[in-house]
Structure 1
Amino acid sequence: MANKRPPRKKIKKHNTLLTEENNKKQQEEILGTVIAQLKSIEGEIIGAPLSLPANVTPEQLELLVNQLLSNDEPLPYSFSVDDKEITSTLYKDIIQGLKKSTEDVLTIVYQPQAIFRVRAVTRCTSTLNGHNDAILSVSFSPDGTQLATGSGDTTVRIWDLNTETPHFTCKGHTNWVLYISWSPNGKLLASGSMDKTVRLWIPSTGKSLGDPLKGHTQCITCLAWEPQHLNPKCNRLASSSKDGTIRVWDTTLRRVVMTMSQHTAAVTCIKWGGDGLLYSSSRDKTIKVWDAIQGKLVRTLEGHGHWVNTMALSTDFVLRTGAFDHTGKISKDEKEAQEWALSRYKAAVGNKPERLVSGSDDFTMLFWEPSTSKKPIARLTGHQKLVNHVSFSPDGHLFASASFDNSVKLWDGLTGKFIASLRGHVCPVYQVCWSSDSRLLISASKDSTIKIWDLKSNKIKLDLPGHLDEVRILLYGFILLSCEA
């Protein structure tokens, strides 16, 4: 009995696979190989130099790095050579794009990416109405499930994000609410007002926790809580004022623990660092570094020629969110929460100290390692008008600056090196904000629009109109929130 011939369709498929494999081998032979050294973004070299196919893809490099690092679970990475990201193949992006030779030894820098990915906002889903005056401050709770707003109508509102209605309206201030801030454990909300007082609110009930904290002689400009990994009770709060002082409060005892008063003009911003230092910027053109335990001045950072408007720490995101992350897990007690917060902080810092960037009316920014030196690492120039806001990405590898020159600029978060100018706004840019996976950058402007930027092409990914007035505040939680003046 004669053998049956295989179906023609299967032969065709088999031949197609062989052809593709042969073409791939021929292409590899034509393009050749490249000697490459893999290095982390912190500068740590892994393994010896490797001979890689010139057309190696990011996916293949990702498999290689996970294998070399012996990761139990594969992690996502991005790869770059001389600050040029590899998006398609090493040959196309680097050999051709940067005009490198296959004879060169290439250093491929790998950078870990967030395991989760945030989807870009494409439209306005709702409008939260209720305040009778401009919204001056907004803040998501550390776990991202609650939202609080402070307004010129003297109230603080805590919103139910499911029904999009105010869960509580907190009344007590007698003037504009200028700044609000959640404690790292999410159990308290603090608000600072033009009435010179700080008030504490219980988010679960919307009620005030006792009488207002009095002591400042002028309006409150900023608030900062002690990080959770340093204090699991989260009961110490710092406030700054236009009176030039910083006060640290014990919110349990409801009294001032210490007062720092060496600034000679209004304090514009304060940050409570993860290593126990408190940073304050002022209109006296200086930044002061304080010991947050004893209240002593550690050093004064000088270099700006005009008011210092804004500061950002490379660890801002993990300090604000404490023990909470994208998994939504809840700790069983304060000790476990402290351990989680400490673990997240150590992962964010890596093998380098906290970094600080400051923006000024002198059109420049200064890049510091304030815990180790009073001299700036770099002076960052390029903006043509005052720098209004700076913000580090959650992973600390990038930071962005917003200026009244209508532009946003992108900088390397480890070196301060300039990366790109993001242009598209036609009016001053008030604020920039990062998605929690560090892959999206959002800017708010006087031109009444929000723009979401593609960081691979440095171009506008989405343009979001809708506001009827200038957009002054941006905040990214599980949703993107923007507020007009």
Structure 2
Amino acid sequence: MATKGPPRKKVKKNNTITEDINNDIIKQEEILGTVIAQLKSINGEMIGSPLNLPANVTPEQLELLINQLLSNDEQLPYAFSVDDKEITNTLYKDIIQGLKKSTEDVLTIVYQPQAIFRVRAVTRCTSTLNGHNDAILSVSFSPDGTQLATGSGDTTVRIWDLNTETPHFTCKGHTGWVLYISWSPNGRLLASGSMDKTVRLWVPSTGKPLGDPLKGHTQWITCLAWEPQHLNSKCNRLASSSKDGTIRIWDTTLRKVVMTMSQHTAAVTCIKWGGDGLLYSSSRDKTIKVWDATQGKLVKTLEGHGHWVNTMALSTDFVLRTGAFDHTGKIPKDENEAQEWALARYKAAIGNKPERLVSGSDDFTMLFWEPSMSKKSIARLTGHQKLVNHVSFSPDGHLLASASFDNSVKLWDGFTGKFIASLKGHVCPVYQVCWSSDSRLLISASKDSTLKIWDLKTKKIKLDLPGHLDEVFSVDWSPNGEKVASGGKDRQLKIWRN
């Protein structure tokens, strides 16, 4: 017996369809109802009184509302979240359904400003630059993003011309691997630390050394850190750390040691010079020491790790590194103006919160600190299955990324240390991560010979950048956002653009 097919639907005219869609939207709003919401800034300030909002309000509509409430002259971009979950579709879908909230709850919606400018993801390698005869161990753009330097196992430092993408200067003088390079915040000097136990200073405009090497350490140099520009307009004080367990502060004008700090009992692995005048050093003795950089006195010792401390990051790293320079390309007329600009950028970066520090260790964990407030850690960040090799705060300080030998990159909240997401895609240890200057993208370099760009909105790979022939040791994103440079075991420097 034949069965009847489904009844045929009548084809409606276009205007009838439109009416139906509009009716559906009205019905949906009626069904979803409204929620009471309190808007709060990332710094904890409440804006106005609680509001009645439609449950299906979108981030774009919230953006219009917050710009109106803050009386902004021009529309600024914002991101919105409830209980650390970002609203990307609608309040109803992401929060009420996603977090199982009730429409009767008073929801606290946290808003945070986004960078007005946008960095486009680099998509292609525009140059493969040869010249180094051994692995490239360190890659670094100058604070204004106009110059690029590399340090290599072939004992040389190279400065590259970014306009023609060709070698500019080869700086010779070291007799051991160049392990670390660092630009002064005003971009006028480049420092390099080597396995030959010396620190050298170079003039990037000429490629010439500034005097003889700075000698004093008895083992190889592990890290370098310049005094922030807002604390010292001359940018002439440099700290170096060594496998010998000491930290030395040099006056680069007088070319001599100002002070030596030697209370670590094992190799110092990393140093950071904070914006409030404190110097932080991590060591294989499992501790982090906090020093007064003006007197060289030990302020406190931060304890908590169960193994070597490999790496540290400050929430203000980006503004301390770039000093007076930002994405607009404005150039200060003198040292005093540069210091004023650097101070304004630093104050904007910290807001009303203290500087935050994160340390990564061979014990597979990270510890989250507010060293100026307490010597106890705020949180222990767990989840990595192997040692943590590198940590980095986003330029706006809202996020933290960690790279590990467990082949993953993990994202954490930059204020609480709360876990956000695991970025998986690499098939070998991840050596380094670097943020775009608008904090929307992250790039990672790995032993698997690839670079990967991650979109922070979707928490997924945006682009895979193959091209290196071997392990990629170092990567840097220019502060102006235009280029990425990477180097590694294949001795090639690659420049990537969008």
Same fold (TM over 0.5): yes
Q: Could you tell me how far apart the structure 2 residues matched to 1:470 and 1:146 are?
A: 24
Distance apart, 1:16 and its partner CA: 9.5
Give CA-to-partner distance per residue, 1:278-321, whole Å, 9 cap, x none.
Answer: 00001111100000000000000111111100000000000000
Distance apart, 1:444 and its partner CA: 1.3
Q: 1:5 to 1:60 in 2, by over 3 A?
A: farther
Secondary structure of the corresponding residue to residue 93 of structure 1: helix
1:64 aligned onto 2:65: yes
1:439 matched residue in structure 2 = 440
Distance apart, 1:71 and its partner CA: 2.1
Show structure 2 runs of 5+ residues with no match. Answer: 473-492
Q: 1:2 to 1:98 in 2, by over 3 A?
A: closer
Residue correspondences, number: 475
Q: Could you tell me how far apart the structure 2 residues matched to 1:289 and 1:396 are?
A: 21
Q: 1:190 to 1:288 in 2, by over 3 A?
A: same
CA RMSD between the two structures: 6.4
Q: 1:11 to 1:462 in 2, by over 3 A?
A: closer
Give CA-to-partner distance per residue, 1:70-126, whole Å, 9 cap, x none.
Answer: 223321100111222111221222222223222221111111111111111222222
> Is the CA contact 1:365–1:381 (under 8 Å) kept in the aligned structure 2?
yes
Larger RCO, structures 1/2 (Cα 8 Å, 6+ apart): 2
> Is the CA contact 2:139–2:149 (under 8 Å) kept in the aligned structure 1?
yes
Q: Could you tell me how far apart the structure 1 residues matched to 2:453 and 2:370 are?
A: 30
Q: Could you tell me how far apart the structure 1 residues matched to 2:457 and 2:110 are?
A: 16
Q: Could you tell me how far apart the structure 2 residues matched to 1:6 and 1:293 are?
A: 84
Distance apart, 1:15 and its partner CA: 7.5
Q: Could you tell me how far apart the structure 2 residues matched to 1:484 and 1:135 are?
A: 20
Distance apart, 1:254 and its partner CA: 0.8
> Is the CA contact 1:135–1:483 (under 8 Å) kept in the aligned structure 2?
no
Q: Could you tell me how far apart the structure 1 residues matched to 2:411 and 2:435 are?
A: 12
Of stretches 36-45 and 264-273 in structure 1, the one that deviates more from structure 2 is: 36-45
Distance apart, 1:20 and its partner CA: 9.2
Q: 1:28 to 1:285 in 2, by over 3 A?
A: same
Q: 1:241 to 1:102 in 2, by over 3 A?
A: same
Give CA-to-partner distance per residue, 1:140-172, whole Å, 9 cap, x none.
Answer: 000011100011111111101121111111111
Secondary structure of the corresponding residue to residue 132 of structure 2: coil
TM (normalized to structure 2)? 0.90
Give CA-to-partner distance per residue, 1:425-484, whole Å, 9 cap, x none.
Answer: 11111111111110111111111111111222322221111111111xxxxxxxx96899
Q: Could you tell me how far apart the structure 2 residues matched to 1:95 and 1:484 are?
A: 41
TM (normalized to structure 1)? 0.92
Secondary structure of the corresponding residue to residue 62 of structure 1: helix
Show structure 1 runs of 5+ residues with no match. Answer: 472-479
Secondary structure of the corresponding residue to residue 125 of structure 1: strand
Q: Could you tell me how far apart the structure 2 residues matched to 1:334 and 1:83 are?
A: 41
Q: Could you tell me how far apart the structure 2 residues matched to 1:455 and 1:76 are?
A: 16
Q: Could you tell me how far apart the structure 2 residues matched to 1:146 and 1:8 are?
A: 69
Distance apart, 1:65 and its partner CA: 1.0
Identity of aligned residues (%): 91
1:451 matched residue in structure 2 = 452
> Is the CA contact 2:128–2:494 (under 8 Å) kept in the aligned structure 1?
no
Q: 1:71 to 1:483 in 2, by over 3 A?
A: closer
Give CA-to-partner distance per residue, 1:364-389, whole Å, 9 cap, x none.
Answer: 11110011111111111111111111
> Is the CA contact 2:122–2:497 (under 8 Å) kept in the aligned structure 1?
no
Q: 1:425 to 1:7 in 2, by over 3 A?
A: closer
Q: Could you tell me how far apart the structure 1 residues matched to 2:495 and 2:221 are?
A: 23
Distance apart, 1:68 and its partner CA: 1.5
> Is the CA contact 1:391–1:400 (under 8 Å) kept in the aligned structure 2?
yes
> Is the CA contact 2:360–2:367 (under 8 Å) kept in the aligned structure 1?
yes
2:300 matched residue in structure 1 = 299
1:97 aligned onto 2:98: yes
> Is the CA contact 1:470–1:484 (under 8 Å) kept in the aligned structure 2?
no
Q: Could you tell me how far apart the structure 2 residues matched to 1:145 and 1:8 are?
A: 67
Distance apart, 1:18 and its partner CA: 9.3
> Is the CA contact 1:135–1:484 (under 8 Å) kept in the aligned structure 2?
no
Q: Could you tell me how far apart the structure 1 residues matched to 2:401 and 2:3 are?
A: 71
Give CA-to-partner distance per residue, 1:331-384, whole Å, 9 cap, x none.
Answer: 111111111101110111011100000011111111100111111111111111
Q: 1:104 to 1:7 in 2, by over 3 A?
A: closer
Give CA-to-partner distance per residue, 1:209-237, whole Å, 9 cap, x none.
Answer: 11111111111110000000000110000
Q: 1:7 to 1:404 in 2, by over 3 A?
A: closer
Q: 1:159 to 1:15 in 2, by over 3 A?
A: same
Q: 1:436 to 1:16 in 2, by over 3 A?
A: farther
Q: Could you tell me how far apart the structure 2 residues matched to 1:282 and 1:6 are?
A: 74
> Is the CA contact 1:180–1:223 (under 8 Å) kept in the aligned structure 2?
yes
Of stretches 225-234 and 121-130 in structure 1, the one that deviates more from structure 2 is: 121-130
Q: Could you tell me how far apart the structure 2 residues matched to 1:217 and 1:340 are?
A: 38
Q: Could you tell me how far apart the structure 1 residues matched to 2:85 and 2:364 are?
A: 27
Q: Could you tell me how far apart the structure 2 residues matched to 1:440 and 1:259 are?
A: 39
Q: 1:10 to 1:273 in 2, by over 3 A?
A: farther
Q: 1:340 to 1:4 in 2, by over 3 A?
A: farther
Of stretches 47-56 and 100-109 in structure 1, the one that deviates more from structure 2 is: 100-109
